[in-house]
Amino acid sequence: QLSDQQKMSESPLSRFRGVYLPPALHPLNKMLVKGDRWKDVDSAQEKRRSFLHDFCKKYNSRKKLQTHLVHLVSRIYVEDRHKVLYCEVPKAGCSNWKRVLMVLNGLAASAHNISHDDVHYGKHLRKLDSYDLKGIYTRLNTYTKAIFVRDPMERLVSAFRDKFEHPNSYYHPVFGKAIIRKYRHNASEEALKTGSGVKFKEFIQYLLDSHRPVGMDIHWEQVSKLCYPCLINYDFIGKFETLEEDANYFLQLVGAPAELKFPKFKDRHSSDQRTSAEVVRQYLKELSKEERQLTYDFYYLDYLMFNYTSP
């Protein structure tokens, strides 16, 4: 809330830095919501919003984060027609969310006939960091900002299964090779050449290693570092565990066409069992007690922010 004079006297770059937040919690605009069926979803939503806000107030009370604004908003997709900002959290329904944004934007008639490749490699949707500073600020202050999250261990196991248990022309040669080379003793020539067959325990060793042989990836990066929920004041916090209800309520809030419903289908590997708490338990058995604890510690902020119970 700088005066015009202050804004003029500052260099553009200095405004990227040192944001004191969290800002005030704005009430959700519910003018477009019809009927009583959303009462429970709405009450869950209000609880999540105030929980996150209170957490951030406590956690951030004396912190000033030196982060460039453009970096903060680099995962946020923009839908200008319905004034929506959506922060992408991989493995928490993001492919179907991008399909929905394309329909809202008039780029497709239905979410059901947009292919996976079109969603992820089609460059149909703009991200917030592609706008100038004024465009970023205006949208952050006036659009409805949504984030959808998932239990951190479930999200992690889901990412591992997707990227390492199926043929993958990027993750096997880039991540798989480096992981096998560093964490597998007596690795076969074949494994070193292809990077296929990474074990969950090896993947966790990589994740917890402060000297990782290859960098982080958005599919297992913490939500706190993808979407900065204590610096960007999200109006809507959806959860993968109640994805359809939350998503369809959100579509009502932003005035989406009545016939647009959030798609139910699983984006890829549709014959695989979905990653559930039981599936996660099987994977965690492969780890030592200490590795399990350290993995929880790695996602500690995500557990706290979104009120997930520790496994």
In a domain, 304, yes or no: no
> What is the per-residue pLDDT for 67?
67
In a domain, 75, yes or no: yes
In a domain, 24, yes or no: no
> What is the per-residue pLDDT for 191?
96
Mean pLDDT, residues 86-91: 97
Q: What is the dihedral of CA 87, 234, 47, 220, to 10 degrees?
A: 30
DSSP 130: G
Characterize the bridge pairing of strands 76-79 and 126-127. Answer: antiparallel
DSSP 77: E
Q: Specify the pTM.
A: 0.89
> What is the per-residue pLDDT for 107?
86
In a domain, 178, yes or no: no
Chain centroid to Cα 298, Å, comes to 16
Alpha-helical (H) ranges within 61-199 are 69-72, 94-104, 116-121, 133-142, 152-164, 171, 177-183, 189-194
Answer whether residue 238 shows pLDDT above 70. yes
> What is the per-residue pLDDT for 83?
96
Share of the chain above pLDDT 70, in %: 87
> What is the per-residue pLDDT for 2?
47
Answer whether residue 217 shows pLDDT above 70. yes
Dist CA 104 CA 250 (whole Å):
13
In a domain, 196, yes or no: no
pLDDT interval class at 114 (50, 70, 90): confident
What would the pLDDT profile of 12-25 be if each residue is shown by its tens digit?
444 444 444 455 67
Dist CA 20 CA 171 (whole Å):
37
Answer whether residue 98 shows pLDDT above 60. yes
Domain housing 44: 38-152+221-275
Answer whether residue 213 shows pLDDT above 50. yes
Characterize the bridge pairing of strands 144-149 and 236-239. Answer: parallel
Name the strands in the sheet holding 84-87, side by side, starting at the edge strand that comes first in the sequence. Answer: 126-127, 76-79, 84-87, 144-149, 236-239
Mean pLDDT, residues 183-210: 97
Mean pLDDT, residues 140-163: 97
Strand partners, 145: 85
Which candidate, 224, 194, 233, 200, places its Cα nearest to that of 298? 224
Q: Which two tokens stand for residue 106?
A: 């008039």
What domain count does the chain have?
1
Alpha-helical (H) ranges within 19-132 are 39-60, 69-72, 94-104, 116-121
> What is the per-residue pLDDT for 13?
41
Provide φ and ψ at 65, rounded to 5°. -90, 125
Q: On the CB side of 140, how many CA atoms lie within 13 Å of its CA?
A: 21
Q: Which two tokens stand for residue 23?
A: 């800002």
> What is the per-residue pLDDT for 108?
86
In a domain, 91, yes or no: yes
Answer whether residue 59 shows pLDDT above 50. yes
In a domain, 79, yes or no: yes
> Mean pLDDT, the chain, as a whole number?
88
Q: Which two tokens stand for residue 132?
A: 């100038």
In a domain, 54, yes or no: yes
